């Protein structure tokens, strides 16, 4: 019941400061401690035992799914957010064929706006994920790709998408 409130409209208000992320995660942390058999376990172990990912993972997953919907035309093109693609004939670059254009931002307000903070994560995904036909295929492949990432069960680990070192 509480989780729905914590995740509501997360693409718009996604926190970027560590203290705000910690405050949100603390709610789920406290809820998992209510189970007597898990009370003494560390938080990441409780999450693994319950099969609950961290809230930062859930926000990142939601953002990537929204990006897929925007880029694949699932929304009305008249009102959908326009995210510029990186247009290049050079197919030797890393990432996928739906690579997003990286823009420089001088202020945090713009830097952490949805269309900017999703760029590195989206660009790190392989073609086998971003070029699928349906949203459900995208979700399944994304979950399989991120299955062994640290940030699934550890809220202090982050996945920026650069370098791909966070997933083993």
pLDDT tens figures, 26-82: 988 998 899 899 999 999 999 999 988 988 888 889 989 999 998 888 887 777 677
Cα dihedral sign, 114-115-119-125: positive
Domain ranges across the chain: 2-152
Number of Cβ within a 10 Å radius of residue 43: 20
Between 28-37, 96-105, 117-126, the lowest mean confidence (pLDDT) is in: 96-105
| Mean pLDDT of the 14-35 span | 86
pLDDT beyond 60 at 145? yes
**Which residue bears the tokens 């709610």?**
27
> CA 8, 14, 20 angle in degrees (round to 5)?
105
Q: Which of 82-91, 130-139, 148-157 has the highest mean pLDDT?
A: 130-139
Overall pTM surpassing 0.75 (yes/no): yes
Helix (H, G, I), strand (E, B) or coil at 12: helix
Tens of pLDDT, residue by residue over 73-89, are: 888 777 767 777 776 65
pLDDT for 166: 47
| Mean pLDDT of the 143-158 span | 86
CA distance 132 to 159: 22
pLDDT for 168: 44
Q: Which residues pair with 85 in a beta bridge?
A: 100
């Amino acid at each position: 019941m509480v989780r729905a409130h914590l995740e509501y409209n997360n693409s718009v208000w996604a926190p970027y400061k560590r203290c705000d992320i910690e405050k949100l995660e603390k709610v789920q942390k406290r809820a998992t401690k209510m189970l007597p058999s898990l009370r003494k376990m560390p938080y990441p172990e409780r999450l693994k035992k319950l099969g609950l990912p961290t809230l930062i993972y859930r926000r990142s997953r939601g953002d990537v799914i929204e990006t897929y919907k925007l880029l694949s035309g699932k929304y009305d093109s008249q009102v959908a957010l326009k995210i510029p693609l990186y247009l290049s004939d050079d197919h030797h670059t890393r990432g996928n064929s739906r690579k997003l254009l990286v823009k420089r931002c001088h202020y945090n307000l713009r830097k952490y706006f949805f269309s900017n903070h999703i760029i590195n994560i989206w660009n790190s995904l392989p073609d086998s994920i971003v070029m699928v036909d349906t949203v459900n295929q995208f979700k399944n492949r994304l979950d399989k790709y991120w299955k062994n990432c640290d940030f699934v069960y550890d809220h202090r680990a982050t996945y920026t998408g650069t370098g791909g070192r966070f997933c083993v």
